[in-house]
Copies of this chain bind each other. A is one copy, B any other.
Amino acid sequence: MDVNDAADDGWGMTAEQQPTNRMERDTELMWGLRQSEPRRGPKPRLSRDAVVAAAVALADAEGLEAVSMQGVAKELGFTTMSLYRYVESKEDLLVLMNDAAMDTAPPGPCGGRDWRAGVEAWVHGVLTMYGRHPWAVYLPQNGPPSGPNGLRWMEAGLREIVRSGLDPRRSVQILTMLSTTLREMFRMNVDMERAARAAGATVADTMRGYAAGLGRAVTEEHFPTVARLLREDVLEDAPAEAHGRGPAGPTDELDFPVRRLLDGVEVYVERQRAAGDPDKAARRSGG
C-alpha cells in the first residue's frame, strides 16, 4: 500500500501503479508528496521549485504565453529537456504555477468584524494577488484548489463565509461563485487592457469601439434592452470606472454584485433562523 516505489520508475516503467485520478494526482504533486529521494549520482543543480520559480518569473515578466518549456529552460540556463526531470509535463508545471501564484498570505482572521467585512477583505486580497500575477487567471483550473497556497486561500474565504451562519456545503457554493466571478472579471479586464495596449489605445477607447460596433448591429426592435444600454452609454462607462487602481483592478463592477450576493446570504440566514432552523443543526463542533 505504501507509495515509495518511485525510486525505480523514472520513465522506463509505464505509470500504471497509481490509480491517479487527476485531482488526487495534482494534490500530491503540489504538496510535494510523490518526490523521490535519490542519494546516488551527481547532485541535482536544479529543483522542482527552481523550475516553477523560473516559470513564474517568466510569466511575470513576459506573460503566460512566454512560458514554454524552452523559455523556462533558457531562463534557467539549462536545456529544455532537463526540466522533465522535475516535472512530468508542461501541464504539471502549470498546475504548480497555479499554486505558486498564490504565495501571498490571505488576510488573517480579524475576529471582531462583521463577517461581510471579512469576506470583502478576502475579495480584496484575491484581487491584489491577481494583480501581482495577472497570468494566473489564464491558467486552466482543474478543480477546486488543492495545493497548499490554494487551500490557504480557500480556508480563509470559507472561514469568513461560515461566520454568516451558512452551513459548510452552502458556504463552499458561495465561495465558488465568488472565486469564479473574481477570476473572470479580472481576466476580462486584463484582456481589455492588453487589447487596448496592442491597439495603442486606452480601455475607454476599446469600450467605445465595442459600443460603436454593437451600435451598427443592434436594432431597437430586436434588442431593446441592449439598445438602451447603448443609448445610456452604460457599456462605455462601466469599465472605465474601474480605472482607479492601476493595471486591471475591477472593483467597482465587482463590488456591486458581490454585495448583492452577500445581501442574499444574509437574508437567507435570517430567514432560516426565523423559521426555526431546519438545516442548521450542525453548527456546533459535531463529531
Contact = CB atoms under 8 A, between A and B. Distances in A.
Nearest to A198: B22
B261 A172 contact: no
A230 interface: yes
A21 B199 contact: yes
A212 B4 CA distance: 9
Interface stretch (A26-34, A41-49, A58-66, A84-92): A26-34
A279 to B, nearest CB: 11
B210 A158 contact: no
B31 A216 contact: yes
A214 B286 contact: no
B226 A151 contact: yes
A158 B231 contact: no
Given A174-B257, A286-B256, A212 B181 contact: no
15 contacts: A1-B233, A21-B199, A21-B209, A27-B214, A116-B287, A142-B195, A143-B191, A143-B192, A144-B235, A151-B217, A151-B226, A174-B257, A177-B177, A232-B282, A260-B264
Contact of A206 (B21, B170, B184, B259): B21
Interface in A152-173: 152, 154-155, 158-159, 162, 168-170, 172-173
A70 interface: no
B5 A234 contact: no
Indicate how many identical chains form the complex.
2
Interface of A: 1, 3, 5-6, 19-24, 27-28, 31, 33, 116, 141-144, 146, 148, 151-152, 154-155, 158-159, 162, 168-170, 172-174, 176-177, 180-181, 183-185, 187-188, 191-192, 195-196, 198-201, 205-210, 212-218, 222-226, 228-235, 237-238, 253-257, 259-265, 267-268, 282, 286-287
Nearest to A160: B225
A184 to B, nearest CB: 4
A10 to B, nearest CB: 13
B225 A158 contact: yes
Contact of A210 (B24, B208, B217, B287): B24
B23 A253 contact: no
Contacts of A267: 260, 263-264, 267
Contacts of A232: 168-169, 282, 286
A209 B162 contact: no
A210 B256 contact: no
A207 B231 CA distance: 48
Contacts of A169: 229, 232, 234, 237-238
A97 to B, nearest CB: 18
Contacts of A230: 1
